Structure 1
Amino acid sequence: MAVTFLGVRHHSPACAREVQRTIERLRPAHVLVEGPVDFTDRVDELLLGHTLPVAVYTYYRDGQRVHASWTPLCEYSPEWVAITTGRAVGAQVRFIDLPAWHPAFAGRDNRYADAETRYAEIVERLCREFAVDTVDVLWDHLVEVAPDDDLAPRLTAYFDLLRGDSAAGEQDRAREEYMASWVRAAAADAGDRPVVVVTGGFHTPALRVLAGSGDREWPEAPAPPPGSEGASYLVPYSYRRLDAFSGYQSGMPSPEYYHWLWTGGVAGAATALTEAVTRGLRARHQPVSTADLIAARTLAEGLARMRGHELTARTDVLDGLLGALVSEDLPQPPPWSRRGPLPLGTHPAVVEMVAALSGDREGALHPDTPAPPLVGATDVELSRLRLDHGGEVRLDLADPVDLERSRALHRLRVLEIPGFTVRSSDTALAFVERWLLRPDDNRGPALIEAAVHGATLADASAAVLGARVAPADAPGLAALLVDARLCGIVTLYTGVVDALADSVAQVSALADLGDVLTEVLGLWRHDRIFGTAGSPALGQVLDAAVTRVLWLVEGLHGGPEPAERGRLSTLAATRDTVRHAAAALGVGAEAAVDVLRRVAADLAAPPDVRGAAFGFGWSLGLPVDVVTAARGMTAPDTMGDWLAGLFALARAEVLGDPEVVAVLDDAVTALSDHDFLLALPALRQAYGYFPPAERETIARLLLDRRGSAASARSVVHTAVDPSVVSAAMALERAVDAVLSREGLA
C-alpha cells in the first residue's frame, strides 16, 4: 500500500489538474481531503448539482462566543476536484480536518486562508530571488504558466521550503495530528490499494511524518461541547467574495481569471482577460482601439519573454494592457503588485481590469439542499403574517397583528436579511410604518448564515443585539434600546436600559449625549404601544443624562471656533427633556436655566454654546434678556457662531419677535465690508437652522424695515450662489484698496 500526499494551493487550477491526473491514474481506495470532518457524512449534498462556487458554512455558539467559518469551493478548487474525481473512480471520499468550530480555528473565518501569510519571511526571500512583487506572481511563474510535466516535484520542493524546519503553532499542530490519524486509518483499511491525501501544501510535510506511526483506528468526529451548538450547511458563494482584491485571504486573487485558466488554458485565459477588460472599458465609454489591443498584446508577449514565461501570465497581460491603455502616471502602483482591496483614487482603467479579473459569477444551491431551522421558521412566520409577497406594506402599530408584523420585519432588518426595507417610520406620534418588501436571491443565503445566532427570528435577533451591548458606548446603547423595543425583545430591553444608565455618567463628549436624550425621551413620552411611556427606568436615564450635560457644558471653554452642531443638538435635546419630562428629573427647569445663564455670561465659553445658553431659557418661556444680549453681539469673528447657538434652541422665538430680528439686522448692517466678509460663512451656517419658508419670513421683515415691496422669495432664492457673491465683494474691496493706494479712487 502507498499513500500519495498532494500538497496544493487552495483555488489553484494547476494543483486541481494534478489532483485529477493523480486520482484517475491511481484509482485509490480512499481520497482524503482537507475539509470539515463533520461534513463527511454529507458529501452527497455537495454533489446534488449546485452552481459553483458554494461554501460549507459552519457555525458555533455557546455562552461565551459565536463563531462562523466558510470553506469555499469553486470548479477549480483542488478539494472540489478531489471530491468529484474520487467519487468518479469509486473511492471513499472523506473530509479529515477538524470542524470549523474547533478551537484550532479560533480567530479564523476561512479554512482555506493560506499559511503563506504566516511565513512572510520565506515568501519575501523567494520573491526577491525570482524578481517578482508578490507571492501570487511568484506562484503564477512557478506553477500556473509553467509546464505540467514536472509539476509534482516542483510543488513538493515549494511547500517543503515554505514549511522549512519551523515547528507548527498549537492550532496547526492539533489539526495536523488529527488529519494524520485519518491517513493512518485509511492506509490500514486500504490494504494493497492506494490512498490519496489532498491538503494545503503547508501541512503536507508534517503529515508525511505524522502518518508514519500511531493509532490506526478510524478517529471520531469531535462533537460540540455540552451546552453549545454547532452545525454546517451549504451556502452559495461568489467570486467577488473569493477575490483577494476584496480582502479575501484565500491565497488566490482574480478568481475569474483562474476560471478561464482552468477551462481554456494559459493562452485562452489571456485572450478572455483582454476581451473582458475591453468590453468593460467600452461600456464605460473609454475608447479602446484595435491598435491599442495590438500594442497591449505585443507588450504582454515581450514582458513574458523577459520574465522567462513560455506563455503570457496574468500579470504579463495586465501590465501590457496598462502600458497600452493608460498614458498618464498612476498615483500608486498597480494593485496586482501587492495585496488587499483597491485604494481610493485608483485609475478607472485599473478598476475595470480588476473587475474583469474578479468576475461576477455567483453560486446557487440545488433546491433539495438542507437548510438550518431558521430558514424554515422564517418562511412559516412570513407566511403566517402575510409578509411573503412583494410590494409596500403599511402597518398600524396600534393593531396587535400589525405590531407583530412590525416586530418580525425589524428582526429581519437587525439580522441584515435583504428584501425588507423600512421606508418611513413614525412610532413616536402616528404609530405607522411603511415597508417595502421585494424578492431577493440573497435572502436564503443570508438566513443560513444568520442561523449562527438562533433557530427563530426572535432568538437570532436577540443574540445579535445582545452581542452589541458590551462594546457599545452611550449613543450605541440608545440605538440598541430602540432596536430592542422595535424587535419586541423585552429581556434585552431591560438590560440595555441598565447599561445605558451606567454609561451616560461616563460620557466625556457633550455631543454624544444628544442622541441618548432624543431616543430615550421619545420612548418615555410616547411609547404607550410598547409599554415604555413614563417608565421609571427610562426616567433615571434622562435624569442622569441631563445632569451630565449640565456638568459638561459648564466646563466648556475655548476661543472662537466654528459652531458645533452635535453639542447644539444635545442642548436642544436637554431643553426638550426639561420641558417634557420634568417629573422624571431631579434637576428642575429653574436650576437648569441658572446653569446656562452662567454659561451665557462666561466669555471663556465657546460662542455657539453661549448663544445656545441664551436660547435655552428663552425657549422655555423664562425671562431672558435676549435683546440686550443681541445688541452686545458685535464681534464679527463670533457673531455667526453665537447666532447658530441661539437659532438652534430658540428659532421659533426669534421668528416671533420682530424686535430681535431688527436688532440682529442692525448688528449685521453696522459691520464694515471687511468684517462682514469675515462673519459671512458663520452667518450663513447660522441662518441654515431656518427652513426655506422661515427664511422667507425673515426676508419679508427685513424688506419691510427698508420700505421695500420686493419679493421675499426672490431675495432668498438668488440666481447666483452666495459664495460667488461673497468672492465678488472681496475682489471689489481689494480693487478699491489698490485704487485708493494709487490715488485713483
Structure 2
Amino acid sequence: MAGAAPRPAPAARLMGAVFVGVRHHSPACARLVAATIERHRPAYVLIEGPADFNERIDELLLGHELPVALFSYSDEHASWSPFCDYSPEWVAITEARRHHAEVRFIDLPAWHKAFHDVTNRYADAELRYAEVVERLCREFAVDNVDVLWDHLFEAEEDPRGLAEYFDLLRGTATADEGDAAREAYMARWVRAAVKHAGGRPVVVVTGGFHTPALRAMLDGDAEWPEVPERERGASYLVPYSHARLDAFTGYQSGMPSPGYYQQVWENGPQRAADWLIESVATRLRREQQPVSTADLIAAHTQAGALARLRGHENLARTDVLDGLTSALISEDLTQPPPWTRRGTLQPGAHPALVEMIAALRGDGVGRLHPDTPAPPLVDAVLHLLREHGLDGEGEVALDLTDPKALERSRILHRLRVLRIPGFDRTSGPSQGSRPQLDEQWVLKPVEERLAALIEAAENGATLAEAAGAVLERRSRHAQLDHLAEVLFDAVLCGITTLSGKVKESLDEGVRETGDLAALGHVLSGVLGLWRHDRLFGTAKDPLLGAVIDTGTARVLWLIEGLHGGPAPADENRLRAMAATRDAVLHAKAALSLDIADVTGVATRVSNDVQAPPDLRGAALGLAWALGTQPDVRKVRGIDALGDWLAGLFAVAREEVLASPELVGVLDELVSAMTEEEFLVALPALRLAFTYFPPRERETIAVTVLDHRGVAGDARSVTRLAADPLVVAEALAVEKRVDALLVKGGLA
C-alpha cells in the first residue's frame, strides 16, 4: 500500500460500532478501512458479505492470487462477490486477521429472495440515487459518477467527506424490499457484535448506500441472527480477472479500470499515471501505431495541467486519459471516450482509445490455491478428460462410427454446451447437412477453464447432468426454430432424457405455426438427425418422423396460400422449400403424403402469377426435383427473373446443371436485357448464382459457351478481378457520361 494512511475521519462511531461506508473496489476506501482497523483494534470486523460463508472464511486466506470471487448458486440463480487487492472488503478481512479481530460476513446469502435480481453483490446502487449523482456531477462539472468519485476521493491524499457523501446519496432514496431485508439482517449482526464485544469497538464495513440505514438501527434484539437455510445450492471460490471486473466491459460494480486502480493501490496515483502513459505507448507501438517521445512528454504535460486546473492534489485517472487523448489523437473522434459515459467501445473506435481501455483494464488473472475446495463437477470433468485422452493440447480427429470416439465426441459436446473454453470443434455433423461421419476438434488449455467449470457446477454434479440441465433450460425458453438446435445438441451430447420432451414440443409447435422461416429451420434440423441415424440411433424415430410429416404438410399448406407482388428473394422461405424437397427424397417412410400430392401443390404454386417470384421458382424446382419435367419454354414469360431463378436454383440446382436447354434459354433472356434492366436484375441474379459453388459455375459457363458456339476458357469467364457490382456501376457511369457528351454536342 503506497502513500500515507488517511485519518479515519469518514468513519462514524456510534454506541460501540464504528461504521465505514465504502464504494466497492475503491483504493481510497480500502486505505480508510485499513487505517480504521489499525486505530481502533476492534473485537469484531463485520463485512457486507454472505453470512452462510462464515464457517469457511479461512478458505479466503489460503494464499490465492487475486482477483478471486465467491460464486454462489441455487435454483436458476447465481451471483458473484468479487475481491481484488484493493477491495475494501478484502482489506477488512486481512487487516482484521492481522489484528486478531473476529471476522463475520453479515449480509443475507446470495440465494435469498432479496438477491433475486442481483448477479453482483458488490454492485453500486447508482440507479437508486441517480438524481443526487446528476446534481453533484453538474455542481462539480464532471461527466459521471466515476469522474466525480475520482475528483472527490481517489485523487486526494486524505479523502474526507465520505460519510457526508453517502448520507447525501441515501437521504433521497428509499430502499426497495430486497435492500430493506438486507439492512434489517445486517443490523441484527451489528447489535449482537456490540453486545458481545466486551466494550471493545466493532468495525462495520458496508456499501455506503447501506451505512446511514444501519447507523439508525442500533436499537433492538441483540442476539446473533440465524443463517437462513437453503434446499439446493452451494458457494465456491472461483478465479476472477481484471477483464471481468472492468465496468467498461459490462461488470456491474462501480469502479472501472481495475488495472489502473491496482497500480494506484500498489504505487500511488503519481506512479500509476506514469504507468498508464507508458503502458498505452507500449501497446500502440506493438500495434505499429506511431508514438514519439514528444507525444509522451505532451501527454504528461497536459495531464499535469488538467490536474492543477481541476484542483487535484494528484493526477486523477481522467486527467491522464484526457492528456493522452489530447496528445495522441488529432482528428475528430467518431464516438465519445468511454470514460465520459461509462460505455463500451463501439466498432471503429480510434486505435488510441482501444489501447487506453485495454491498459486501464489490465491483464491480471486470479489463481486459486491448490487446496481450495471445488464442486464435484470439477473433479468429474478432469477425470473424464484424463481417462479419454482429452486433457492435452492439439488437434483431435474422431471417427464417429467408432464407439470410443463417439463417447469422446459426446464429452466434448457436453463441454461445448456448458461453454467451457479450450474445446473448439472445427468440423462435424451439423443441422440440415448431409451425414458426416467424422469430427475435428482443437484442444487448448486456457486459464479461464477452472472458473468456467466451477460456475457450471450450478447445473449439476456430473458432466451429463450439467449439460442436460443447460439444454433443458434452453428448451423451456426457446422459440420454435431454436428448439431444433436444442434437440440436435441433445443428440450430439448423447442426452436422451431430454429428447422426447423437445420432440413433442417441436411437433406441437410445427402444427400451429404460420412462420415459414421457422418451419424451414426446424424441418432441416430434424432431417439432419433423421439422416444421421447411423451415428445417433435416430433411425425411424417415430417422434422425429411425426415432426417431419407435420412440418412438410404445413409448409405445403402455407405456400399455397402465400400471395404478394414482386419482392426480393426470401432466403428463409427458400430454405423451407429445400427442406421440403429433402423430406420427400430422404424421409419417405415418415410421410403420409404421396409424391403426387407434393408435386401437385408445387405445380399449382409455380403457375400462380399472384405468388412471389422466388416462391414460384422454388415450387417449379421442387416439382422438377421430384421427377416432373418443366416446360422450359414458359421461362421466357417470367417476371422478376433474378428472384425466380434464386428460388429455382435453391431447390433444383442439380437439375439445372443437367439441363443445357434451360441454361441456353436463360442465357438468351439475360443477353436480351437492356443495360438498365440488367442493372436492376443484377443483385437478384448474383444471389441466385451463389447457390452454385465455383466448380458448378464453371460447368454453367461451359454450357453457355457451347450454346453460343464459342470456344473459350470457362474458368476465365467465371473469375473476374473486380466486383461485378463495381463493373456494373462503372458501366452505368460511362453510359451517363456518353449521354452528357451527346447532349453537349461533344460525342
TM-score range, shorter chain: over 0.9
Q: String of CA shifts for 1:224-268, please: whole Å, max 9, x gaps.
A: 0xxx31211111111111111111121111111111111121212
SS of residue paired to 2:536:
coil
How big is the shift at 1:165?
5.5
Q: What residue identity is the alignment partner of 1:42?
A: R
Structure 2 contact 17–202 (Cα < 8 Å) conserved: yes
Deviations along 1:597-627, whole A, 9 cap, x unmatched?
22212222211111111111011112432x0
Within 2, Cα distance between the matches of 1:194 and 1:497?
Answer: 64
**Does the 8 Å CA contact 2:72/2:110 hold for their aligned counterparts?**
yes
Matched, 1:68 2:78: yes
Most deviating of 78-87 and 390-399:
390-399
Q: Does residue 13 of structure 1 match 2:27? A: yes
Q: Give 1:287 shift.
A: 2.1
> Do the aligned residues in 2 keep the contact of 1:558 with 1:604 (CA within 8 Å)?
yes
Contact 1:9–1:201 (Cα < 8 Å) also in 2: yes
Deviation, structure 1 residue 291: 2.4
Deviations 1:426-445 (A, max 9, x none): 48635322322222222111
> Partner amino acid for 1:292?
D
1:100 aligns with 2:110: yes
TM-superposed CA distance for 1:506, in Å, is 3.5
CA distance in 2, matches of 1:640, 1:321: 54
Which residue of structure 1 aligns with residue 598 of structure 2?
592
Point out the more displaced range, 154-163 or 526-535.
526-535
Could you tell me whether the CA contact under 8 Å between 1:58 and 1:100 is conserved in 2? yes
Deviations 1:301-340 (CA, angstroms, capped at 9, x unpaired): 2222222222221111111211122111222322111123
Q: Would you say 1:157 and 2:167 are equivalent positions?
A: no
Equivalent residues of 1:116, 1:162 under 8 A apart: no
Partner of 2:184: 177
Give 1:440's aligned residue. 446
Distance 2:374 2:680 in 1: 65
- Indicate which of 655, 672, 678 corresponds to 1:653: 655
* Contact 2:132-2:172 at 8 Å conserved across structures: no
Aligned equivalents of 1:656, 1:238: Cα separation in 2: 59
What secondary structure, in the 3-state scheme, does the structure 1 residue paired with 2:233 have? strand
TM-score (ref. length: structure 2): 0.94
Q: Distance in 1 between matches of 2:26 and 2:720?
A: 63
Task: Please list, as runs of the form range in 1=range in 2, the aligned pairs for 1:452-601 lying within 5 A after superposition.
Answer: 452-601=458-607
Q: Is the 8 A contact 2:435 2:528 kept in 1?
A: no
- Residue identity matched to 2:200: R
- Change in CA separation of 1:138 and 1:426 when aligned onto 2, cut-off 3 Å: closer
Taking a change above 3 Å as real, the CA distance of residues 296 and 529 of structure 1, as seen in their structure-2 partners, is closer
Q: Report the counterpart of residue 216 of structure 1 in structure 2.
A: 222
Give the letter for the 2:21 counterpart.
G
Q: Does 1:297 align with 2:300?
A: yes
Deviations 1:694-715 (A, max 9, x none): 2112211221233322111121
**Which residue, 638, 641, 647 being the options, matches 1:639?**
641
Matches within 5 A, 1:361-440: 361-426=364-429, 429-440=435-446
Within-5 A mapping of 1:189-208: 189-208=196-215
Q: Which moved more, 1:17-26 or 1:158-167?
A: 158-167
Counterparts of 1:203 and 1:500, CA distance in 2: 49
SS in structure 1 at match of 2:303: helix
Runs of 4+ deviating beyond 6 Å: none
Match of 1:717 in 2: 719
The CA distance in 1 between the partners of 2:247 and 2:171, in whole Å, is: 26
**How far apart are 1:743 and its partner, in Å?**
6.0
TM, length-normalised to structure 1: 0.95
Equivalent AA in structure 1 for residue 362 of structure 2:
G
Distance 2:436 2:133 in 1: 63
SS in 2 for 1:643: helix
CA distance in 2, matches of 1:140, 1:426: 54
With 524-533 and 124-133 compared, the bigger mean Cα shift is at 524-533
Q: Name the CA distance, whole Å, in 1 between partners of 2:290 and 2:619.
A: 60
Change (3 A) 1:740 1:131: closer
| SS of corresponding position for 2:442 | strand
Distance 1:725 1:41 in 2: 74
3-state SS in 1 of match to 2:284: helix
Structure 1, 103-112 or 21-30: larger mean CA deviation: 21-30
Residue matched to 1:608: 614
Which whole-Å deviations, capped at 9, do the CAs of 1:2-35 have from their partners, x for residues lacking one? Answer: 2111111101111111110111111111111111
The residue that corresponds to 2:268 in the other structure is 265
Question: Does the CA-based 8 Å contact 2:426-2:441 persist in structure 1?
Answer: yes
The one-letter amino acid paired with 1:4 is V
Deviates more, 1:121-130 or 1:400-409: 400-409
Helix, strand or coil at the partner of 1:468: helix
Structure 1 CA distance for aligned equivalents of residues 304 and 740 of structure 2 = 64
Question: What's 2:315 paired with?
Answer: 312
Cα contact 1:593–1:617 (8 A) shared by 2? yes
CA gap of 1:202–1:430, structure 2 versus 1, over 3 A, is closer
Contact 2:239 2:450 in 1 (8 A): no
Residue 78 of structure 1 is matched in structure 2 by: 88
Deviates most, 96-105 or 720-729: 720-729
Change (3 A) 1:407 1:343: same
CA distance in 2, matches of 1:471, 1:398: 33
Residue matched to 2:336: 333
Partner of 2:62: 48
Cα distance in 1 for partners of 2:444, 2:353 equals 34
- Can you list the C-alpha shifts for 1:48-104, whole angstroms capped at 9, x where unaligned? 11111100011112xxxx111110000000001000010001111111111111111
For the 8 Å contact 2:503–2:543, the answer to whether it is kept is yes
| Corresponding residue number in structure 2 for 1:357 | 360
Tell me if 1:126 matches 2:136.
yes
What is the count of residue pairs matched by the alignment?
730
1:522 positional shift: 2.4
1:335-361 per-residue CA deviation (whole Å, 9 max, x = no partner) reads 111123223332221121111111111
Q: Counterpart of 1:70 in 2: which secondary structure?
A: strand
Distance across 2 between alignment mates of 1:685 and 1:386 = 45
Amino acid in the other structure paired with 1:92: E
Contact 2:67 2:85 survives alignment (8 Å): yes
* Distance (Å, rounded) in 2 between the aligned partners of 1:169 and 1:738: 72
Q: Which residue of 2 aligns with 1:694?
A: 696
401 and 190 in structure 1: CA distance in 2 versus 1, 3 angstrom threshold: same
Q: Is 1:239 aligned to residue 242 of structure 2?
A: yes
Partner Cα separation in structure 2 for residue 253 and residue 719 of structure 1 = 48
Change (3 A) 1:729 1:165: closer
Task: Find out whether 1:35 has 2:38 as its counterpart.
Answer: no
Distance 1:104 1:245 in 2: 27
What CA distance in whole angstroms lies between the structure 2 residues aligned with 1:282 and 1:744?
A: 55
The aligned counterpart of 2:257 is 254
- Report the AA paired with residue 273 of structure 1: L
Note the residue ranges of structure 2 that are not aligned, 5 or more in a row: 1-14
For 2:399 and 2:679, locate their aligned partners in 1 and report how far apart those are by CA, in whole Å.
Answer: 52
Residue 52 of structure 1 aligns to a residue in which SS? coil
How many Å apart are 1:119 and its aligned residue? 1.4
Deviations 1:655-674 (A, max 9, x none): 11211111112212222233
How big is the shift at 1:509? Answer: 2.9
